[in-house]
């Protein structure tokens, strides 16, 4: 129903319409006046109409009352619905704004200038964090269990009554670590993701557990050895039986632990490191190491960079002092064990060497700016290596023996590596070796310049060398002072690099430091002969009227007469003296071995071919090299000797001819 219809119904009745309807009714019912007069029920009809009118009025009143009530209720409901509609409209606008905000929140703004995570991104981050926390929880549980096993193993090792029960706990830890590693590997293969670090963490826990177990057994042996006055020289026979028994029991327990450990940690292709060695000997080295650190790594006066011989001598003395104890007591304890083939003194000395290696690695960087101290340190290291080899030390019979596997029938071949020496700690580092080489080159060059610049450099040597140092060359030929000093300098250089353990290092030293001295001296003599020839040719070309010039007169004095011949003789004997010395050096065993290695090794041949002072090496491995290492320089010096001899002959010839000119002139005038 429309509102217009409602308004029409609410309006008052139309009187004209009512009258018209009444008139139409009467016209229809009473068509004429006669019908009206003849009608008997007109009055009753009027009464009925009046009664019906009253009834309609009553209904109208009731309907009006109901209508008013209905309108009031409807208005109230309409107002209520209008208010609710307004509230819903506001709620709709609020929801629309919130929906718009949430829609904007779902758009990533991480690439914007004010990078703020969206709601969705926050949810994703929280979800990832939850997964990570769950993974971390599992990770922590794994680590916690491993740490409990570690604590159990260490506690058992520190208990004298149940020391070897620690092996059970350690084996459980080892199996647990292996199972976790396998699970991680399978998960990685399945997902292709990066492997978790839990396997590496368990491996570190396992290694630390074994180290602490070993430390517990080691502590027992160290305590027992201190009752024997270790690390002082031990008089084992003077010790009480109880002390000896305690020492032997702890010694065997530590050996047993090592045997078990080797079975548990059996791996192939494992190389020896400074941390390896016989467990009981490692324990005995610990007090020695503490004393070494006290004296040479602290603030005491014994810790001096310029006195490396102090700590080298200290280690050498410790090895020598305890040799009797190692060979007579400890070696006997090993006879009934699986380590009976170990040479205990060599093993003990081998485990002392890391003290020097660590000391050198710490101190050498500070010595690089001081070439003299660096060279002294290297010399002391080479001296130490030589002394230890003279004592009979090598790697045979020690834990440093390398095993090569994979031979036929499952056999193992035992190969003994050659001991490179403590000096290899320095010489094996390219930058340290180059720094030492540069320092030696600068030092020898400075000495050479001092020899050449000395006032008596080109005077004939008057004093003969000591009888012990006199060589056949000195007896046969009287050299100049510079020639004798250069020869001594070259021999001094040979003494400095002859102890080098590797032929590569010796070759570098030969080419970089030693040969340049001989080349420079050759160039110096050659330059003096060139100057002599220049002055002589100037005099020959000068006109007689120019002889009065002071410079020409002085040049004539230097290049003519006895003084001129003496100058040539000095160059002659200097070159001949060095040539003879190099021939003698070339026959020395040291240089013969070096020349043989240069000919047989491709890398050394390449270095030799790049040096003009060395003869061309041959690469035939089966043949013996011909000539000597100084052959090329000897040839060059002999050319100088021949050139000086020719110049002497020419000078003498010129002097004789000049002296006979007066006689020829007098005879011609007569």
- pLDDT tier for residue 410 given thresholds of 50, 70 and 90: very low
Say if CB 198 and CB 181 are below 8 A apart. no
Tens of pLDDT along 479-514? 899 999 999 999 999 999 999 989 999 999 999 999
Question: What is the pLDDT at residue 289?
Answer: 94
What pairs with residue 480 in β-bridges? 460
Task: Encode burial over 118-137: b for 16+ CB neighbours within 10 A, e otherwise.
Answer: beeeeeeeeeeeeeeeeeee
Question: What SS3 state is found at 464?
Answer: coil
Other Cβ atoms less than 10 A from the Cβ of 548: the count is: 8
- Residue 520 and residue 528 in contact, taking contact as beta carbons nearer than 8 Å: no
Is residue 168 predicted with pLDDT exceeding 70?
yes
DSSP state letter for 542? S
pLDDT at 612: 86
Give pLDDT, residue 32: 72
The predicted structure's pLDDT at residue 186: 73
Of 122-126, 348-352, 535-539, 617-621, least confident by mean pLDDT is 535-539
Q: What is the model's pLDDT at position 189? A: 59
Percent pLDDT > 70 in the chain is 83
pLDDT of residue 313: 95
According to DSSP, residue 404 is labeled E
Express as a percent the part of the chain with pLDDT over 90. 46
> Is-contact 399 277, C-beta < 8 A?
yes
Statement: residue 544 has pLDDT above 50: no
> In the chain, what are the domain boundaries?
17-102, 267-425, 430-669
Q: Give the model's pLDDT for residue 28.
A: 79
pLDDT at 466 over 70: no
436, with CB counted inside 10 A (0-12, 13-18, 19+), is buried
Rounded CA separation 551/558 (Å): 11
Topology of the domain comprising 430-669:
Tetracycline Repressor; domain 2 (1.10.357)
Averaged pLDDT score across all residues of the chain:
83
For residue 442, is pLDDT > 90? Answer: yes
pLDDT in tens, 196-212: 678 888 889 999 999 99
pLDDT > 80? residue 39: no
Q: pTM above 0.85?
A: no
Q: Can you give the pLDDT at residue 57?
A: 86
pLDDT in tens, 371-393: 999 999 999 999 999 999 999 99
Predicted local distance difference test score (pLDDT) of residue 21: 82
Give the helix/strand (H/E) hosting 340.
Answer: none
| 47 confidence band (pLDDT: 50, 70, 90) | confident
Q: Are 248 and 333 in contact (CB under 8 A)?
A: yes
């Amino acid at each position: 129903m429309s509102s217009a219809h409602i308004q029409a119904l609410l309006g008052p009745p139309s009187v004209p319409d009512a009258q018209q309807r009444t008139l139409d009714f009467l016209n229809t019912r009473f068509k004429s006046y006669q019908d009206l007069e003849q009608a008997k029920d007109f009055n009753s009809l009027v009464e009925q109409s009046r009664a019906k009118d009253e009834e309609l009025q009553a209904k109208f009143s009731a309907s009006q009352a109901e209508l008013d009530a209905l309108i009031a209720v409807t208005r109230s409901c309409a107002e209520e619905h209008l208010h609710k509609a307004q509230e819903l409209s506001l709620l709709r606008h609020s929801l629309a704004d919130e929906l718009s905000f949430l829609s904007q929140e779902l758009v990533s703004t991480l690439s914007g200038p004010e990078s703020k995570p969206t709601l969705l991104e926050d949810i994703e981050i929280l979800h990832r964090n939850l997964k990570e926390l769950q993974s971390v929880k599992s990770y922590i549980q794994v680590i916690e269990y491993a740490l409990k096993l570690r604590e159990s193993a260490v506690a058992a090792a520190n208990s004298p009554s149940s020391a070897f029960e620690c092996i059970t706990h350690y084996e459980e830890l080892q199996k647990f670590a292996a199972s976790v590693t396998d699970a991680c590997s399978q998960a990685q293969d399945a997902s292709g993701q990066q492997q978790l670090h839990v396997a590496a963490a368990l491996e570190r826990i396992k290694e630390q557990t074994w180290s602490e177990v070993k430390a517990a057994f080691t502590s027992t042996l160290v305590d027992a050895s201190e009752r024997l006055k270790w690390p002082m020289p031990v008089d084992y026979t003077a010790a009480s039986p109880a002390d000896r028994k305690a020492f032997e029991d702890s010694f065997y327990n530590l050996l047993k632990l090592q045997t078990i450990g080797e079975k548990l940690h059996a791996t192939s292709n494992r190389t020896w490191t400074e941390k390896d060695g016989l467990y009981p000997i490692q324990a005995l080295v610990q007090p020695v190491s503490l004393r070494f650190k006290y004296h040479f790594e602290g603030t005491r006066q014994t810790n001096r960079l310029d006195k490396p011989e102090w700590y080298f001598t200290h280690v050498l003395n410790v090895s020598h002092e305890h040799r009797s104890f190692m060979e007579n007591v400890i070696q006997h304890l090993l006879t009934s064990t699986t380590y009976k083939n170990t040479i205990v003194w060599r093993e003990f000395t081998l485990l002392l060497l890391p003290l020097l290696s660590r000391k050198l690695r710490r101190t050498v960087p500070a010595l690089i700016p001081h070439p003299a101290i660096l060279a002294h340190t290297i010399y002391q290291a080479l001296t130490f290596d030589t002394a230890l080899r003279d004592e009979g030390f090598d790697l045979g019979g020690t834990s440093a023996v390398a095993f090569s596997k994979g031979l036929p029938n499952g056999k193992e071949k035992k190969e003994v590596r050659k001991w490179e020496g403590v000096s290899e700690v320095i010489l094996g580092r390219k930058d340290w070796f180059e720094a030492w080489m540069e320092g030696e080159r600068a030092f020898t060059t400075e000495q050479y310049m001092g020899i050449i610049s000395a006032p008596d450099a080109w005077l004939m040597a008057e004093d003969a060398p000591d009888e012990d140092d006199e060589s056949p060359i000195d007896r046969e030929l009287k050299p100049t002072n510079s020639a004798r000093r250069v020869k001594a300098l070259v021999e001094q250089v040979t003494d400095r690099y002859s102890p080098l353990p590797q032929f590569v290092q010796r070759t570098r030293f030969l080419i970089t430091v030693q040969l340049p001295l001989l080349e420079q001296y050759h160039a110096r003599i050659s330059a003096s002969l060139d100057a002599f020839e220049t002055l002589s040719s100037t005099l020959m070309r000068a006109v007689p009227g120019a002889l009065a010039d002071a410079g020409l007169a002085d040049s004539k004095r230097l290049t003519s007469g006895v003084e001129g011949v003496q100058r040539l003789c000095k160059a002659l004997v200097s070159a001949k003296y060095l040539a003879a010395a190099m021939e003698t050096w070339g026959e020395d065993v040291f240089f013969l071995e070096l020349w043989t290695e240069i000919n047989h090794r491709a890398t050394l041949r390449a270095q030799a071919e790049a040096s003009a002072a060395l003869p061309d090496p041959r690469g035939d491995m089966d043949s013996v090299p011909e000539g000597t290492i100084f052959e090329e320089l000897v040839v060059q010096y002999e050319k100088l000797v021949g050139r000086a001899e020719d110049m002497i002959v020419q000078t003498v010839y010129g002097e004789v001819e000049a002296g006979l000119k007066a006689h020829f002139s007098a005879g011609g005038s007569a």
